[in-house]
Amino acid sequence: MTEKTPETRDAKLVCRHLWKLFGARGAEVLAALGPDPAPERLIAAGVVPAVRDVSLSVEAGEIFVIMGLSGSGKSTLVRLMSRLVEPTSGEVLFNGQNLLAASEAEMTMIRRHKMGMVFQHFALLPHLTVLDNVAFPLDVQGAPRAEREARARQMIELVGLGGREGAFPRQLSGGQQQRVGIARSLAVEPELWFLDEPFSALDPLIRREMQDEFIRLQSVLQKTIVFITHDFDEAIRLADRIAIMKDGAIVQEGTPEEIVLSPADDYVRAFSGAVPKAKVVRVASAMRAAEGEEPTAEVAGTLTVAEAAPLFLNGTERLRVTDGQGATLGHLHRADILDLMLGG
């Protein structure tokens, strides 16, 4: 087991200089070309660079979104994190343990007991009921029937499908099928939850509904989540932090607010340029220092400006901005909100 350093002590998952080159001689080519070869040199050498020198950490309890266009490497990266795909080089640390040093038997146990996975295609077993689909991973673990069914019923209720335990997948809508997939992945009580474009096959209204459901679930469960998407609106709605990928590399990592307000390059700017600033700027970033008489109305500093704006509709000029314990952080002014919403 790798010794925990200050970098990894509070992180659930850490990737260090992670590479994936598809081709028979990937490791040999990487060693020959040096620590940071250009994609063109790798392709000329006969390998396909899917993930290039990725280093990141995912903190316990956060939603870490990885996004990029099709072919950017995001889905390959999430599979490297769970060793469903073997890296060419680098390290993946889970709770401080280097997964690349784990045996296949150890990895199987980690995936079964500590990781949950939800993918774009629901992969429900058509001949099993909702109850049996959700209980299936517990059956694989060897849990007694009564125990696995009780746990499955809890998860089915949690995702809002109580009463549909006896239904078969063909009898469910797309959104309901995805809820079954989510319930199944949660049945093992994972420490780390991977979701690879789980809502992208759904109609827009159902997709929004599933995002709302996901936010609700996370408020209850507080899981450590790696979420893959190509939709920037979805990313800023769900993420605590975002990593944007291009050509297998991360071009920018930060909070939604940091990425929208300070895009690293034109590629990131193309994603973020159309997003209204009020949807991502937090009240705590837009407030001024507290001065003068204390306003009676208050707003949480963690809300976005767009969420706080309706509080000014009754003519209120200032709001007291508070932290999670009710302490005053500053004052939010109506004029500043109008400037940000109307002038960007």
Q: Is the pLDDT of residue 214 over 70?
A: yes
Q: Classify domain 60-86+100-275 at the CATH class level.
A: alpha beta
Between residues 227 and 158, which one has the greater pLDDT?
A: 227
Q: What pLDDT does residue 57 have?
A: 96
Q: Is the pLDDT of residue 343 over 90?
A: no
Across the chain, mean pLDDT equals 89
In terms of Cα–Cα distance, which of 314, 321, 266 is closest to 288? 321
In the chain, % of residues over pLDDT 90: 58
Q: Is the pLDDT of residue 1 over 80?
A: no
Q: What is the pTM of this model?
A: 0.84
Q: Is the pLDDT of residue 4 over 50?
A: no
Q: How confident is the model at residue 6 (pLDDT cuts 50, 70, 90)?
A: very low
pLDDT digits (tens, 9 = 90+) for 8-48: 457 999 999 999 999 988 899 999 998 789 889 999 999 99
Distance (Å, whole) CA 4 – CA 27: 27
Q: Is the pLDDT of residue 3 over 60?
A: no
Q: How far apart are the first and last CA of the chain?
A: 49
Mean pLDDT of 105-115: 92
Between residues 158 and 129, which one has the greater pLDDT?
A: 129
Mean pLDDT of 235-263: 93
Q: Do domains 60-86+100-275 and 278-343 have the same CATH topology?
A: no
Q: Is the pLDDT of residue 213 over 90?
A: no
Mean pLDDT of 192-217: 86
Between residues 60 and 292, which one has the greater pLDDT?
A: 60
Q: What pLDDT does residue 342 have?
A: 81
Q: How confident is the model at residue 252 (pLDDT cuts 50, 70, 90)?
A: very high
Q: Is the pLDDT of residue 129 over 80?
A: yes
Q: How confident is the model at residue 2 (pLDDT cuts 50, 70, 90)?
A: very low
Amino acid (1-letter code) at residue 278:
A
**SS (HEC) of the chain:** CCCCCCCCCCEEEEEEEEEEEECCCHHHHHHHHCCCCCHHHHHHCCCEEEEEEEEEEEECCCEEEEECCCCCCHHHHHHHHCCCCCCCEEEEEECCEEHHHCCHHHHHHHHHHHEEEEECCCCCCCCCCHHHHHHHHHHHHCCCHHHHHHHHHHHHHHCCCCCCCCCCHHHCCHHHHHHHHHHHHHCCCCCEEEEECCCCCCCHHHHHHHHHHHHHHHHHHCCEEEEEECCHHHHHHHCCEEEEEECCEEEEEECHHHHHHCCCCHHHHHHHCCCCHHHCCEHHHHCECCCCCCCCCEEECCCEHHHHHHHHCCCCCEEEEECCCCCEEEEEEHHHHHHHHHHC
Q: List the chain domain ranges.
A: 60-86+100-275, 278-343
In the chain, % of residues over pLDDT 70: 97
CATH domain 278-343 topology:
CBS-domain (3.10.580)
Q: Is the pLDDT of residue 188 over 50?
A: yes
pLDDT digits (tens, 9 = 90+) for 139-179: 988 889 999 999 999 999 988 899 999 999 999 988 889 88
Distance (Å, whole) CA 306 – CA 298: 15
Phi-psi category of 287—alpha, beta or left, where left has phi over 0 and alpha has psi -120 to 50? beta
Let me know the angle formed at the C-alpha of 192 by 148 and 26, rounded to the nearest 5 degrees: 120
Between residues 159 and 249, which one has the greater pLDDT?
A: 249
Q: What pLDDT does residue 205 have?
A: 83
In terms of Cα–Cα distance, which of 231, 228, 156 is closest to 195? 228
Q: How confident is the model at residue 344 (pLDDT cuts 50, 70, 90)?
A: low
Phi-psi category of 326—alpha, beta or left, where left has phi over 0 and alpha has psi -120 to 50? left
Q: Looking at 109-118, 120-129, 281-290, 310-319, which range is the least confident one?
A: 120-129
Q: What pLDDT does residue 61 have?
A: 93
Q: Is the distance from CB of 235 to CB of 242 less than 8 angstroms?
A: yes
Q: What pLDDT does residue 206 have?
A: 81
